[in-house]
Amino acid sequence: MPLIATEAIVLHAFNYSESSRIVRLATRDAGLVSVVARGARRPKSAFGALDLFTHGVAQISVKPQRDLHNLTAFDPVKSRVSLGSSLPRFSAAAMLSELVLRFGHEESARDLFAPLAAGLDLLECELESEPTDVALRAAWQLVAVMGFSPAVDDCANCHAPIDAEAAGVFDMRAGGVLCANCAGAAAGRRTLPAPARDALRSWLSGEPHALEDGANRKAHRRLLREFLAEHLHDGGARALTAFAAWDNLADGAA
């Protein structure tokens, strides 16, 4: 069986048998991988910490044509334990992990590793920034890498340029802002003021953008939620539970 060594982030883990754990890893070189860490629950386990959001180097014995592989070693590089001391930041990190787990299919998730790691680092380190703003930036970065970046400056229908200082009509089905000529026939449309377009433009390009108040944050969370529902799905009707928990927590804090 081939052995690979790759950077990895722990996205999910649960106990398996009396001494082992099954872990879902986002990896830089192999995408999403499910592994069994045999003996990980023993007091003198050879594994490093396999806590949620831990970033490390995983050694994986790959079983061809199998969905579950063997984790032979995990050397932690960054624990991110401080996320556990802030419920808003922890819930935002869980939301980002859920997006990768649900929509980052197999090897295609390799491209999501870098923006996921960057988003988790920002949540942990940018303590002066509002967690919702950081989470929205990171989530839209993941959406962009998945290939579903919404149109902000050009019409999503006819591709005509739209004045950056103007409000735009955002149509979920079309996948972005529409020009005045195309907006009339749009169903379920939403007006996106120029400042909201500025925020979305910044986040999609990986730049920070601080929102003014809780009402704006709520509107942007709703925009993200509806966009995900329209454009990203995994073939089932399962709810995004971590996303809902993050959304509800942020709503209560507004």
**What pLDDT shows up at residue 66?**
83
Q: How many angstroms separate the Cα of 157 from the Cα of each of 178, 197, 198, 201, 202?
A: 7, 17, 20, 18, 22
* pLDDT score of 40 more than 60: yes
Quick one: 82-154+159-253 is in which CATH superfamily?
A: Recombination protein O, C-terminal domain (1.20.1440.120)
Q: Are 211 and 130 in contact (CB under 8 A)?
A: yes
99-124: per-residue pLDDT in tens?
Answer: 999 988 766 788 999 999 999 999 99
Q: How far is CA 161 from the centre of its chain?
A: 29
**What pLDDT shows up at residue 236?**
58
Q: How many angstroms separate the Cα of 226 from the Cα of each of 38, 118, 124, 229?
A: 40, 24, 27, 5
Percent of the chain with pLDDT over 90: 69
**What pLDDT shows up at residue 85?**
93
Most confident of 49-53, 97-101, 184-188: 97-101
216: number of Cβ within 10 Å: 18
Which tops the pLDDT comparison, 225 or 253?
Answer: 225
SS3 annotation, the chain: CCEEEEEEEEEEEEEECCCEEEEEEEECCCEEEEEEECCCCCCCCCCCCCCCCCEEEEEEECCCCCCEEEEEEEEEEECCHHHHHCHHHHHHHHHHHHHHHHHCCHHHHHHHHHHHHHHHHHHHHCCCCCHHHHHHHHHHHHHHHCCCCCECCECCCCCCECCCCCCEEEECCCCEEECHHHHCCCCCCEEECHHHHHHHHHHHCCCCCCCCCHHHHHHHHHHHHHHHHHHCCCCCCCCCHHHHHHHHHHHHHC
* pLDDT score of 79 more than 60: yes
Least confident of 50-54, 67-71, 110-114, 247-251: 247-251
CA distance 62 to 50: 19
CA distance 52 to 84: 9
115: number of Cβ within 10 Å: 22
**What pLDDT shows up at residue 61?**
93
Class of domain 3-79 as given by CATH: mainly beta
Q: Count Cα atoms within 13 angstroms, Cβ side, for 129.
A: 20
* pLDDT score of 254 more than 60: no
- Per the prediction, the chain carries an average pLDDT of 90
**What pLDDT shows up at residue 235?**
58
Same fold, 3-79 and 82-154+159-253: no
Which tops the pLDDT comparison, 28 or 239?
Answer: 28
Q: Are 162 and 182 in contact (CB under 8 A)?
A: no
CB neighbour list of residue 145: distance below 8 Å, 6 or more residues apart: 111, 112, 115
**What pLDDT shows up at residue 109?**
80
190-246: per-residue pLDDT in tens?
Answer: 889 999 999 999 999 999 999 999 999 999 999 999 999 988 876 556 789 999 999
Percent of the chain with pLDDT over 70: 94
**What pLDDT shows up at residue 231?**
86
**What pLDDT shows up at residue 213?**
92
Q: Are 64 and 17 in contact (CB under 8 A)?
A: no
**What pLDDT shows up at residue 49?**
81
* pLDDT score of 159 more than 90: yes
Q: Are 246 and 92 in contact (CB under 8 A)?
A: yes
Q: Average pLDDT of 54-83?
A: 92
* Sequence ranges of the domains in the chain: 3-79, 82-154+159-253
122-152: per-residue pLDDT in tens?
Answer: 999 988 889 999 999 999 999 999 999 999 9
